[in-house]
């Protein structure tokens, strides 16, 4: 029997509650697909600050490097907001991504028929929408040099090398090959030299994937098209800044951030996490929506372990449970037949996985 090592980082706030449900689903899928998952827990974020004084202990980084993948909950909270920036919980996550060279951030957005009314857009605009935003995560304007500020000005530098563009483009084309084989590259090539390079390199990589239809779109138009007609998109690839904005915009299409998973991947493994935060205001109440974390576990199966059947089992179980009318509090206004808590939702999804053919 195949066995995989998963580093588990629950983090802060609701992190422990939602990760527990992600593990349930992962274990259930593993049992159906005849592989084993071994977990080892690590600290990061506020929990690590409280325990050892730093947001990312060396033990956690090393454990993540040795694992096949990282299943992560969420970090942060007001308790640590007054700390210097380099000691805040979020610094730990940035350092983990950098330490793993997790350069590709994948954020799928799928609209479920049973939750059409939950979307911020009209049902007819979003019915059938199913897209993936691939964001370059460790380069661009957030990391470019020089940067700084004085009393009268501030400056940042947007820089991309052809190597950085090439590897994120290749990841996006590979993702498109798993889907409907359409890729839209988003840039601002009409005014930015760095975007002109981006477009040239993406086109060059595209010649390696002749089955994928490649289109280009300026970022301002892409922002408009996402809310006008999200169904036109399959996979979107873009840089760090544009991807940060567009992926958050796209998250509103589905109706709740409690439904949206993500992964941050490098050459090996990756970090799999819900896109939402630690929600300390509801921590410990058992009402958080675990679906995003459970779907992140599905992405872990597909992208880190290569267990595609296990991923599909988890995804179909989530959809079936939502279709049955179970709703956590964030979705209770939309077609709820029964309102459930975090653990009950996770248990229902687990049982649905175990009951599948």
Of the candidate ranges 43-47, 192-196, 235-239, 253-257, the one whose mean pLDDT is the lowest: 253-257
How much is the pTM? 0.93
- CATH number where 226 lies: 3.40.718.10
- Please tell me the distance from the alpha carbon of residue 232 to that of residue 254, in angstroms, as a whole number: 15
**The last residue of a domain, from among 194, 229, 254:** 254
**The last residue of a domain, from among 205, 230, 254:** 254
| Whether residues 270 and 248 fall in one domain | no
Determine whether 162 is an active site residue: no
pLDDT digit string, tens, across residues 125-165: 999 999 999 999 999 998 899 999 999 999 999 999 999 99
| Whether residues 158 and 170 fall in one domain | yes
For residue 267, pLDDT over 90 is answered with no
Percent of the chain with pLDDT over 70: 100
| Whether residues 22 and 82 fall in one domain | yes
**The last residue of a domain, from among 254, 288, 322:** 254
Determine whether 187 is an active site residue: no
Per the residue annotation, which of 142, 181, 182, 218 is the catalytic one?
142
User: Which string of DSSP letters, residue by residue, matches 221-232?
Assistant: HHHHHHHH-GGG
Determine whether 248 is an active site residue: yes
| Whether residues 143 and 249 fall in one domain | yes
Determine whether 142 is an active site residue: yes
Per the residue annotation, which of 68, 188, 303, 330 is the catalytic one?
188
| Whether residues 86 and 189 fall in one domain | no
| Whether residues 324 and 249 fall in one domain | no
- The structure tokens listed for 331 are 């979705």
Determine whether 150 is an active site residue: no
| Whether residues 99 and 147 fall in one domain | no
pLDDT digit string, tens, across residues 207-235: 999 999 999 999 999 999 999 999 999 99
| Whether residues 264 and 227 fall in one domain | no
| Whether residues 233 and 316 fall in one domain | no
| Whether residues 90 and 19 fall in one domain | yes
- Please tell me the distance from the alpha carbon of residue 16 to that of residue 25, in angstroms, as a whole number: 15
Mean pLDDT of 35-53: 98
pLDDT digit string, tens, across residues 157-192: 999 999 999 999 999 999 999 999 999 999 999 999
How many separate domains does the chain show? 2
For residue 35, pLDDT over 90 is answered with yes
pLDDT given for residue 252 in this prediction = 87
Residue range(s) defining the domain that contains residue 220: 120-254
Per the residue annotation, which of 81, 248, 281, 323 is the catalytic one?
248
pLDDT digit string, tens, across residues 292-345: 999 999 999 999 999 999 999 999 999 999 999 999 999 999 999 999 999 999
| Whether residues 49 and 168 fall in one domain | no
- Where residue 255 falls among pLDDT bands split at 50, 70, 90? confident
pLDDT given for residue 86 in this prediction = 87
Per the residue annotation, which of 81, 113, 162, 220 is the catalytic one?
220
Per the residue annotation, which of 244, 303, 330, 350 is the catalytic one?
244
| Whether residues 77 and 129 fall in one domain | no
């Amino acid at each position: 029997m195949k066995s995989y090592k998963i580093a588990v980082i629950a983090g802060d706030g609701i992190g422990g509650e939602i990760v527990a449900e992600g593990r349930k689903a992962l274990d259930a899928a593993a049992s159906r697909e005849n592989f084993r998952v071994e977990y080892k827990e690590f600290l990061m974020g506020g929990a690590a600050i409280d325990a050892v004084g730093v947001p990312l202990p060396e033990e956690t980084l090393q454990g993540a490097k040795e694992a096949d993948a990282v299943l992560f909950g969420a970090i942060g909270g007001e308790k640590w907001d007054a700390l210097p920036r380099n000691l805040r919980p979020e610094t730990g996550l940035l350092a983990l991504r950098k330490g793993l060279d997790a350069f590709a951030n994948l954020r799928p957005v799928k609209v479920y028929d049973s939750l059409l009314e939950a979307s911020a857009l009209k049902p007819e605009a979003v019915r059938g929408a199913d897209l993936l935003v691939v964001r370059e995560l460790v380069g661009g304007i957030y990391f470019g040099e020089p940067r700084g500020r004085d009393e009268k000005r501030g400056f940042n530098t947007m820089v991309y090398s052809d190597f950085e563009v090439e590897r994120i483009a290749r990841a996006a084309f590979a993702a498109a090959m798993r889907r409907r084989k359409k890729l839209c590259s988003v840039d601002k090539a009409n005014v930015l030299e760095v975007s002109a390079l981006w477009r040239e390199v993406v086109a060059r990589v595209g010649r390696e994937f002749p089955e994928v239809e490649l289109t280009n779109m300026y970022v301002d138009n892409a922002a408009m098209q996402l809310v006008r007609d999200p169904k036109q998109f399959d996979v979107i690839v873009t840089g760090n800044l544009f991807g940060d904005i567009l992926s958050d915009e796209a998250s509103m299409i589905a109706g709740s951030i409690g439904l949206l998973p993500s992964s941050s991947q490098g050459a090996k493994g990756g970090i799999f996490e819900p896109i939402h935060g630690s929600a300390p205001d509801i921590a410990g109440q058992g009402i958080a929506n675990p679906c995003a974390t459970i779907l992140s576990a599905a992405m872990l199966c597909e992208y880190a372990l290569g267990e595609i059947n296990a991923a599909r089992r988890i995804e179909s179980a989530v959809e079936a449970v939502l279709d049955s009318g179970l709703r956590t509090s964030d979705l209770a206004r939309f077609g709820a037949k029964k309102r459930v808590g975090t653990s009950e939702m996770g248990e229902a999804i687990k049982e649905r996985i175990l009951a599948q053919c």
